[in-house]
Amino acid sequence: MQCTCVRQTDLPNTSKLFADLIYHFDRVADLYPWQPNSLDEIARAAQFSFPDERRAAVVRALEPLNPGNPSLAILARPGTAAIITGQQVGLFSGPAYTVYKALTAIRIASELTASGTPAVPMFWLATEDHDFAEVDHADVFGESMHPVRLRTSTPAHAGSIPVGELPIGDVPLTQLRQALQGLPFADEACALVERAYQPGQSMGSAFAALVRELFAPYGLILIDPMSSELRGIAAPFMRQAVERMNELSDDLAARGKELVERGYHAQVLVDSKTSLAFLLKDGQRLALRRSADGFTAGQQKWTTAELAAKAAELSPNALLRPVLQDYLFPTAAYVGGPAELAYLAQSQVLYKKLLGRQPVAFPRAGFTLVDERAAKRMAKYRFQPQDLMVREQTLRETVAARLVPPGLTRSLETTKTTVAQALDAFSADLAAFDPSLVTALATSRRKIEYQVAKITRKTAVQILAKDEQAQRDSAMLSGTVFPDDHLQERLYSIIPFLAKFGPGLVEEVYRQVRVECPDHQFAVL
């Protein structure tokens, strides 16, 4: 695997907050307690006292989901730190970055342990979320590198029910095999999916089975927050959050306003009715709203004391969730993507009030995987990785422009230069004769230059239309690197990559994860 680093700021839609966190930390040092991409910082963040009783309790709670995992015995030892990441329980493991998150946590834990601070990697399964539309699909590709979306059927009772509890429904295994047809390791990839997505499984348990098999050699510990044992351990924390909800929400609203005033963005809007918790009741996850005398959900009402008494039945919102996670576990670093790390800039105020410590906000590794055929096409058209991260039509126009013969390109450029010089001279003469005519010429000039540019574009398009191979190359490169206007890792599941590159892909990618580097990696296999 040959990797080229691409700065995150060269990728589409990188937020200012994320860019400053990883490249200009001094600008956000008051929002995050530790500098990212530093093993030394993580080792320092691991130096805190964690209750032995709570450690033993969470290890017991984790055993049913992690049978035989040797990392549990390591976690049970006082002084062991947790390196945590997580993801929604999407169909067929969700986007490929799910795997890159896990591999980043595994790499950090391994290097931290080697440096003298024992650590284990952990993966939080977001089984509590109740937006089924976010997890009911997977995007894959076949030999042509054209994206194909597969969906599982929607259960009749989906809605406010935590997605991890929902049955998997009709799993599109036949469609998966059809989509992967022609890829050399398609049978192995489909078999992996079939072993996990067995009849009777839920979205959460099937996702867990797939992730467990993918990372079996690495000792990745899985966490299911729907576990009644974990919710029981978390109850004192959730009780305190409810009792201090008004104070905490006011702090969050102030932090959100501060972020916006500094030119950043608030990942979550907090207002006077925002609650930091949901209520798990009758199999549903009910959204709570703050009111003058307590909390409401539809027509139901609870006083603060009544809701606090239901602490073991509460589920945190996106801002409270990471703080609850780090109450449960001795977390030294949390591995996340740009949006998740943006949450932490807001959640910092909750960490200060409820926990008194906060882990390192660590950016996950990012990869774009291409084969040698794509790499050769890139060289043919003189493309850098970031040149491909544009809309397909834009890429086609660029390919077309690069197909124009050098002699014709020079002739077109000469024409544009000659026209511009002639118009400059004419404008100067008009200004000396009658300045009022210069404005009229400016309008005409725009039309003339537009027509010259138009014939340039039409020349390129005509050449592309005659070159069927170039058309195929454009479609293939776009479908590989920026399918449907998304970064590859944000759209495609890892499954088609396993079908294309083989079961050894996970280990190959793992070897390229670099703790010290926040850049995206463009990898040729």
User: What pLDDT digit, counting tens, does each position of 159-169 carry?
Assistant: 789 999 998 88
Does 297 score more than 60 pLDDT?
yes
Q: Residue 433: which pLDDT band, with cuts at 50, 70 and 90?
A: confident
What pLDDT, on a 0 to 100 scale, did the predictor assign at position 418? 79
Q: Residue 140: which pLDDT band, with cuts at 50, 70 and 90?
A: very high
Most confident among 242-246, 432-436, 472-476 (mean pLDDT): 242-246
What pLDDT, on a 0 to 100 scale, did the predictor assign at position 6? 97
Q: Residue 400: which pLDDT band, with cuts at 50, 70 and 90?
A: confident
- Whether 166 and 131 have beta carbons less than 8 Å apart is answered as no
- Whether 509 and 107 have beta carbons less than 8 Å apart is answered as no
Beta carbons within 8 Å of 464's beta carbon, 6+ residues apart: 396, 399, 400, 403, 470, 471, 474
What pLDDT, on a 0 to 100 scale, did the predictor assign at position 446? 83
Give the chain's mean pLDDT: 92
Q: What is the mean pLDDT of residues 511-517?
A: 96
**pLDDT tens digits for range 317-333:** 999 999 999 999 999 99
Does 452 score more than 70 pLDDT?
no
Q: Residue 392: which pLDDT band, with cuts at 50, 70 and 90?
A: very high
pTM higher than 0.75: yes
Token pair for 443? 């309008």
**Per-residue CA distances from 430 to 28, 34, 427, 443, 450 (Å):** 54, 63, 5, 14, 22
What pLDDT, on a 0 to 100 scale, did the predictor assign at position 421? 83
Q: What is the mean pLDDT of residues 398-427?
A: 72
What pLDDT, on a 0 to 100 scale, did the predictor assign at position 410? 67
Q: What distance in Å separates the CA atoms of residue 357 and residue 370, rounded to the nearest whole number? A: 41
What pLDDT, on a 0 to 100 scale, did the predictor assign at position 461? 66
**What DSSP line would sit under 184-234, residue for residue?**
TTHHHHHHHHHHHS-TT-BHHHHHHHHHHHHTGGGTPEEE-TT-HHHHHHH
**pLDDT tens digits for range 219-253:** 999 999 999 999 999 999 999 999 999 999 999 99
What pLDDT, on a 0 to 100 scale, did the predictor assign at position 347? 97
Q: Residue 504: which pLDDT band, with cuts at 50, 70 and 90?
A: very high
Q: Residue 408: which pLDDT band, with cuts at 50, 70 and 90?
A: low
Of 34-43, 83-92, 224-233, 448-457, which gets the smallest average pLDDT?
448-457
Q: SS3 string of 58-82?
A: HHHHHHHHCCCCCHHHHHCCCCCEE
Q: Residue 412: which pLDDT band, with cuts at 50, 70 and 90?
A: low
Q: What is the mean pLDDT of residues 290-308?
A: 93
More confident residue, 22 or 435: 22
Does 415 score more than 90 pLDDT?
no
What pLDDT, on a 0 to 100 scale, did the predictor assign at position 444? 77
What pLDDT, on a 0 to 100 scale, did the predictor assign at position 435? 77
Residue with tokens 């959204």: 287
Q: What is the mean pLDDT of residues 370-387?
A: 95
**pLDDT tens digits for range 4-35:** 999 999 999 999 999 999 999 999 999 999 99
**What SS3 class is residue 87?**
strand
Q: Residue 467: which pLDDT band, with cuts at 50, 70 and 90?
A: low
Secondary structure letter of residue 154 according to DSSP: P
